[in-house]
Chain A
Amino acid sequence: MMVLITGACGGLGRAMASECARRGFELFLTDISFEGLDSIRQGLERQFGAVVYTHVCDITDAGQTAAMFERIKGMEKKPGMLLNIAGIDHEGGFMTQPGERIADIVRLNVEATLRMTHTALDIRNKTEKFYIVNVSSLASLYPIPLKATYAASKRFLLDFSIALGQELKYENVRVMALCPGGLPTTREALHGIAAQGIWGSLTTNGLGLVAQRTISRVMAGRRVYIPGVVNRTLSILGVFAPPAMVARLLYKRWRQAQRQWLTDSL
């Protein structure tokens, strides 16, 4: 099977790619960084002897995405799995940043993911199963002040995934939303987890394990995967507690964490 991965050079993308390579899948990796793609391709070839194709592409650009899919269409094998991992968040309050920067979050997390999903489904081999994983977040389960746009964009992916999974259930398509807590991917993320103190450690998930279980679960037909016991418990809060109350609680937590985080990284 060939797996198409967006945001493949980021921390989660690399972990997913190496999990897929370990399982013997072929890979088609895309990201905006040429150097990053080159490094991870080389690493996967050396570590697993994997077959890896790479394509530099800004998936928020419709033209570039179309060109990438033209290349995929010309390939012998069609992707059997799509991992929509590319996503961004800009730390800071809504009014502390330019509007366009905020809109970029939606352009990548929502618009580009929809475009990828639609095109990949369109060209899929319809006689075989097709798997999609959308990387949502624990943040999708509540409204989160100071991360309002990010959390809402992830909520979109959660609801969209569940609905689309139902819609295409009888057409051999499985869709799963992955809702991780903190993921220790980059130096910044590690600082962020440390800045949140005990909450950071409790809601953080090991990257290797999350990658392994994500692939197993989507192939088993699961709709949502929330890694970690603490996170699953917190998710229940999102179902029963009134949104305004959760927002009040989270505002307190994030204001403090973000202040420390932003000063730490200076």
Chain B
Amino acid sequence: MKTVMITGATSGIGFEAARAIAAQGMRVIGVGRSAERCEKAKTMLLDAMPDASVEYVCGDLSNQREVNAVSDTVIGMLDDEGLWALVSNAGGVRNWYTTTADGYETQFALNYLAGFLLAHRLWPYLKKANGRVILTGSNSHKMMRMHWKDVMYKRCYSCLMAYKQSKLAGMLFAAELNRRQYQVKAYVVDPGLVDTEIGAKETGGIVKMFWKLRSKGGVKPEVSAQTYAYLCSRQPAPDGLYFHGCRPVATSKRVDDPEDAKRLFKLSEQLCGIKFGGDEL
């Protein structure tokens, strides 16, 4: 049985992706921050699909210590087939500059760096399965470039810019993985505008109001979830990097910049204290 790990799987897009992937007969290991919500999500999925294989692991992925702990737990749950797919979907919005326990800007750490570190920790198991890394992206990665002068946006924080950059970073990471031609394929899903709570959870004020209005016009998360299920199940592995509605779509030109991708890869290794795919530094 193929195992798929999905982060941010207790609500929104991640939850619906978990449902769609479990419905295809794959084993799902979901990750969520709150133990209570993990339990609730698991019950909901198993009530709807009693034969499905669904488990949850609890951890706050903005904190690298917990990313490592979650990885250890998940590795312990894997069988000989390894890990078929890592769906790095957890993300959030902060309308103020905030830092994680490691002192990194929260959106950068949670939306991007956590996925990088997870992919590294699970790399041997992904390789074993000839698996896939699937990141949740966004069209907001367009019209954006890496803010190299101050990647953490410490001095001129803008909620939207930090969000856009975190999504661009994910694209650059996936593109770099594919450029390196590992057996593991990397994809980014553009879920489109989806009616979830992402912009209303830890924000408030104008950002929250704006998001509440805007998200109403979005599609239901189960629509976007189909693309995740497609990328997990399609054989042979589809060509392309960036998918919307189960079809490859165009990315920003910035994503093709190998210099930026390499620079980001190196910075990410440094910020995680690792050598990607290799031993810890």
A interface residue numbers (CB < 8 A to B):
9, 11, 14-15, 17-19, 22, 35-36, 38-40, 42-44, 46-47, 184-185, 187, 190-191, 193-194, 197-198, 200-201, 204, 206-209, 212
Label chain A's interface by main secondary structure: helix
Distance in angstroms between the alpha carbons of A208 and B153 in the assembled complex: 8
Distance in angstroms between the alpha carbons of A42 and B68 in the assembled complex: 14
A11 contacts which chain B residues (CB < 8 A)? Answer: 98-99
Contacts A187-B202, A194-B203, A194-B205 given: A15-B99 contact, CB under 8 Å? yes
Distance in angstroms between the alpha carbons of A88 and B205 in the assembled complex: 25
Distance in angstroms between the alpha carbons of A43 and B272 in the assembled complex: 8
- In the assembled complex, 12 residue pairs joining A and B whose CB atoms fall closer than 8 Å, in A order, are A39-B102, A40-B102, A42-B273, A43-B64, A44-B103, A47-B271, A187-B202, A198-B205, A200-B204, A200-B205, A209-B155, A212-B154
Asked if B63 CB lies within 8 Å of chain A CBs, one says: yes
A205 to chain B, nearest CB (A): 9
A212 contacts which chain B residues (CB < 8 A)? Answer: 154-155
Question: How many of chain B's residues have a CB under 8 angstroms from any CB in A?
Answer: 28
Other-chain contact of A46, B63, B94, B208, B273 (Cβ < 8 Å): B273
B101 with A9: CB separation less than 8 A: yes
Other-chain contact of A207, B97, B101, B204, B206 (Cβ < 8 Å): B97
A14 with B103: CB separation less than 8 A: yes
B interface residue numbers (CB < 8 A to A):
63-65, 94, 96-104, 152-155, 157, 202-206, 208, 270-273
Other-chain contact of B157, A17, A187, A206 (Cβ < 8 Å): A206
B65 with A35: CB separation less than 8 A: yes
B177 to chain A, nearest CB (A): 21
A207 with B208: CB separation less than 8 A: no
B103 with A206: CB separation less than 8 A: no
List of 10 A-B pairs having minimum Cβ-Cβ separation, nearest first: A194-B204, A43-B102, A184-B96, A208-B154, A43-B103, A39-B101, A201-B205, A208-B97, A18-B103, A14-B103
B155 contacts which chain A residues (CB < 8 A)? Answer: 208-209, 212
Given A47-B152, A208-B157, 19 new contacts (CB under 8 A):
A15-B99, A19-B154, A35-B101, A36-B101, A39-B63, A39-B65, A39-B103, A40-B102, A42-B102, A47-B103, A47-B271, A184-B97, A184-B98, A190-B98, A190-B204, A197-B205, A207-B98, A207-B99, A208-B152
A194 contacts which chain B residues (CB < 8 A)? Answer: 203-205, 208
**Residue with the greatest number of chain A CB neighbours at <10 A, chosen from B97, B102, B152, B270:** B102
A9 contacts which chain B residues (CB < 8 A)? Answer: 101
A46 with B271: CB separation less than 8 A: yes
Distance in angstroms between the alpha carbons of A187 and B104 in the assembled complex: 15
A184 contacts which chain B residues (CB < 8 A)? Answer: 94, 96-98
A36 contacts which chain B residues (CB < 8 A)? Answer: 101
B101 contacts which chain A residues (CB < 8 A)? Answer: 9, 14, 35-36, 39-40, 43
Distance in angstroms between the alpha carbons of A229 and B84 in the assembled complex: 54
Contacts A18-B103, A18-B154, A206-B157 given: A190-B96 contact, CB under 8 Å? yes
A193 contacts which chain B residues (CB < 8 A)? Answer: 96, 204-205
Distance in angstroms between the alpha carbons of A70 and B66 in the assembled complex: 33
A22 contacts which chain B residues (CB < 8 A)? Answer: 154
Other-chain contact of B104, A47, A185, A191 (Cβ < 8 Å): A47
Distance in angstroms between the alpha carbons of A169 and B215 in the assembled complex: 56
Which chain A residue shows the least CB distance to B150?
A: A208
B158 to chain A, nearest CB (A): 10
A14 contacts which chain B residues (CB < 8 A)? Answer: 99, 101, 103
B104 with A206: CB separation less than 8 A: no
Contacts A35-B65, A190-B98, A207-B96 given: A43-B104 contact, CB under 8 Å? yes
A204 with B102: CB separation less than 8 A: no
Distance in angstroms between the alpha carbons of A178 and B280 in the assembled complex: 41
B102 contacts which chain A residues (CB < 8 A)? Answer: 39-40, 42-43
Contacts A39-B64, A40-B102 given: A206-B204 contact, CB under 8 Å? no
Distance in angstroms between the alpha carbons of A25 and B193 in the assembled complex: 44
B146 to chain A, nearest CB (A): 16
A42 contacts which chain B residues (CB < 8 A)? Answer: 64, 102, 273
Distance in angstroms between the alpha carbons of A42 and B64 in the assembled complex: 10
Contacts A17-B103, A36-B101, A194-B203 given: A46-B270 contact, CB under 8 Å? yes
A13 to chain B, nearest CB (A): 10
Which chain B residue shows the least CB distance to A48?
A: B103
A200 contacts which chain B residues (CB < 8 A)? Answer: 204-205
